[in-house]
Chain A
Amino acid sequence: MTEPRASALAEALRNHPFFAGFDTAFVRAISAKASDQRFDVDEYLAREGTEAGLLYAVIEGKIALEIGSADRPHLTVQTVGPGEVLGWSWLVPPHRWRFDARAVKPSHAIALNGDVLRRTLRTHPKWGYEFMVRFMPVLAERLENTRVQLLDIHAR
């Protein structure tokens, strides 16, 4: 990717709520090999079981996270929208997507390269720690929401 494009992506990332306020050098470093991606309705950002090498920073649109199997219809368990991030399998071995991610509105996201992210976080522990301090609450919130889903709050 050319320098100007990389810096445009870094700039867009700095405006994303998840990355806002991070060290500029960190945002620049993780923007290497990042790409600006647009998805039409029903286009997939990720397919369950395939190699997961990306973290998406969603800028616009809505993405459905779906799970399913051959013997039952797919179920959307969550939707992710602007300002949110999508994907943690790039961090956790064996780096395979655990769900399908399908655009349910025309969507725009910055796709960050998982190898670059892991390498940057490993070689710069201070950035790594700051990143985790932001990433963990996202995972904790999703876990909490899953618990609430299990409570079946609409049952009487």
Chain B
Amino acid sequence: MLADQPRAPAHAETMGHPFAPIPYTVRSVVLETPDTTTLVVEPHGDQRIPSSRPGQFVMLYAFGVGEVPIGVAGGNAEGQLIHTVRSAGKVTQALTHLTPGDTVGIRGPYGHGWPVANARGGDVVVVAGGLGMPPLREVVYELFRHRDSFGRVEIVYGARTPKDLVYYNEIQSWRRRDDVRLQVTVDAAGREWYGDVGVVTTRIPDCRFDPPKTTAFVCGPEIMMKLTAQALVERGVKPESTWISMERNMKCAIGLCGHCQFGPSFVCRDGPVFCYRDLAPLLAVREV
């Protein structure tokens, strides 16, 4: 059994045909890093996808190019959605080249998100590596919105270099809160950087939380999540309270095609957020 969180039956939440994307218009575009762009999109007409929970993803369709899974980094009551996309290949390159007024297709939201409600009453540590921050952005705002329901909140954000940090100014504004501790670190930096340098795992010993009563949400490249989860468990955080978000190539996103298989699970249907307790043995295996 994977992921001990309330699970809805896997199904496409998009109305009508499960593969039919709904047209959205690009409202604004922000260049986060040389290869990463944040898109704010809004429904073209009356139709919109149902609202998503933090950690869920959508299939974003670049018309005439293809469709890829992309996390939901934010949204509002008017149906606007925020997506941060890194150019990794054909489709994501097309998405990062969109300009305001362009149209994209969206279906979803899919998958199981972060079990933020399970963390109530205890401390929370959010650890993001590079592009792992967008899928955790809504977790952070959920914690802010219900700040009294949680104990200490620690946010750790690591990237390869300072220019790989996304949402830089927004994250600096989190520093002004006195009810959250934020650590930002990079693997290496030039002299213009006056912040921390060291891999993200080196910040875990500095985090202030009560390990047995802590829930951890970790998102980033697989090796980063594995090493971070190990560091958290070494500090006493329970593997069953440690959550990570997996990525695999996807096609259908609704549990039909098997493209996203990871061990016994389908990432689109059983994830993308999984409990580390269930994934730890698989993360130790090469090329699963």
Contact = CB atoms under 8 A, between A and B. Distances in A.
Given A62-B196, A104-B194, A105-B194, A154 B189 contact: no
Contacts of A155: 160, 221
Nearest to A148: B199
A151 B227 CA distance: 11
A153 B191 contact: no
Interface in B152-177: 158-160, 164
Contact of A154 (B88, B130, B195, B198): B130
A27 B227 CA distance: 36
Contact of B221 (A62, A105, A153): A153
B142 interface: no
A9 interface: no
A153 B227 contact: yes
B198 A79 contact: yes
Interface string B176-218: 0000000000011111011111111110000000000000000
Nearest to B164: A154
B159 A154 contact: yes
Contacts of A154: 129-130, 158-160, 164, 187, 220-221, 224
Contacts, number: 70
B220 A153 contact: yes
Contacts of A120: none
B191 A74 contact: yes
Nearest to B191: A74
A20 interface: no
Interface in A75-100: 75-79, 81
Interface residues of B, number: 27
Which one of A73, A148, A155 has the highest number of Cβ atoms from chain B below 10 Å of its Cβ?
Answer: A148
A33 B194 CA distance: 31
B190 A74 contact: yes
Which one of B159, B164, B197 has the highest number of Cβ atoms from chain A below 10 Å of its Cβ?
Answer: B197
Contact of B199 (A62, A104, A105, A153): A153
A66 to B, nearest CB: 7
A64 interface: yes
The A interface is mostly helix, strand or loop, or mixed, namely mixed
Given A154-B164, A154-B221, A156-B88, A145 B199 contact: yes
Interface string A112-156: 000000000000000000000000000000000100110111111
A121 B199 CA distance: 32
A73 B198 CA distance: 18
B188 A153 contact: no
A91 B197 CA distance: 25
B77 interface: no
Contacts of B199: 145, 148-149, 153
A151 B158 CA distance: 14
Nearest to A80: B198
B8 interface: no
Contact of A76 (B88, B130, B160, B189): B189
B198 A66 contact: no
Given A153-B129, A154-B129, A76 B223 contact: no
Nearest to A83: B206
Contacts of A78: 197-198
A152 B129 CA distance: 11
Given A75-B190, A76-B190, A152 B197 contact: no
Contacts of B88: 156
A76 B129 contact: no
Contacts of B193: 76, 104
A155 B223 CA distance: 9
Contacts of A104: 193-195
B191 A145 contact: no
Interface string B249-269: 000000000000000000000
7 contacts: A76-B188, A76-B190, A79-B196, A148-B227, A151-B223, A154-B158, A154-B159
Q: Which 7 A-B pairs have the closest CB atoms?
A: A153-B224, A154-B160, A154-B130, A104-B194, A148-B199, A79-B197, A76-B197
